[in-house]
Amino acid sequence: MMNLEQARFNMVEQQIRTWDVLDNDILELLYTVPREEFVPAARRSFAFADLELPIGGGARMWTPKMEARVLQDLGLRKSDRVLEVGTGSGYFCALLAHRSAHVHSIEINEDLAALGRANLARHGAANVTLERGDGSRGCPGNAPYDVIVLTGSIPVLPHGLLDQLSPSGRLFAVIGERPIMNATLIRREPGGGTSNSILFETVIAPLANCEHPVRFRF
């Protein structure tokens, strides 16, 4: 039988710290939110492995080190309003909820929406609003947001998504197409411009209905 706490400890010390995640509050949060309870039962023995875990509908959970790194780089504050596009299993949503005032999370896949809702209800995340729908262009009706997170990759940033950020807001997205994608943090500057930081290279599944660049044919 797997020793859950030893496996969790190994995940934090061997995967996450070594990826420069050193914020003690985030490291403590990884012990507080039980990742194994958000993983499909058939894959629970891999809950702490350095793997993307399939959760159905072609979707996969991020690796633990990516979850922790993105959470740290977003610099969440307890006053932040967050939009998450792609609820998935609900695990990253639960992490966001612990660090912010409110999370509005949208999931297009019916089965995943039900999975995420059940997992978050079991966890008792009270400051989360879940919606089933297409969030590939954001959710302008509830804007502005202090933080926007896209959990699937996009070839290009959707038009109008930055307009849904508050002043000094942050947006995380994995931008590009196979084989090259960049995990990117975009900050809205007080003067209205933006600054982009490439955090790391990765390849993850695409966001449903994401916007594609115009390609000319001759």
Domain count, the chain: 1
The pLDDT score that the predictor gives to residue 209 is 87
Residue 177 has what pLDDT?
A: 93
What percent of the chain has a predicted confidence (pLDDT) above 70?
A: 97
Whether residue 112 is predicted with pLDDT greater than 70 in this model: the reply is yes
Q: pLDDT digit string (tens) for 43-78?
A: 999 999 999 999 998 899 999 999 999 999 999 999
Tell me if 207 is assigned to some domain: no
Write out the DSSP string of 26-89.
HHHHHHHS-GGGGS-GGGGGGTTSSSPEEEETTEEEPPHHHHHHHHHHHT--TT-EEEEE--TT
In a domain, 214, yes or no: no
CATH number at residue 166: 3.40.50.150
Three-state DSSP at 161 gives coil
Whether the predicted pLDDT of 1 surpasses 60: no
Q: Report yes or no on 189 lying in a domain.
A: yes
| Residue 42, domain extent | 4-201
Average confidence (pLDDT) over 140-160: 95
Whether residue 83 lies inside any domain: the answer is: yes
Res. 115: pLDDT tops 90: yes
CB 199 within 8 A of CB 176: no
Tell me whether residue 211 is in a domain.
no
* Residues above pLDDT 90, as percent of the chain: 88
Whether residue 124 is contained in a domain is answered as yes
Any domain includes 104:
yes
pTM score = 0.94
Residues 6 or more apart whose Cβ sits within 8 Å of residue 115: 55, 56, 88, 89, 90
Report the largest interatomic distance among the alpha carbons of the chain, rounded to a whole angstrom.
61
- Is 206 part of a structural domain of the chain? no
pLDDT in tens, 169-199: 999 999 999 999 999 999 998 887 899 999 9
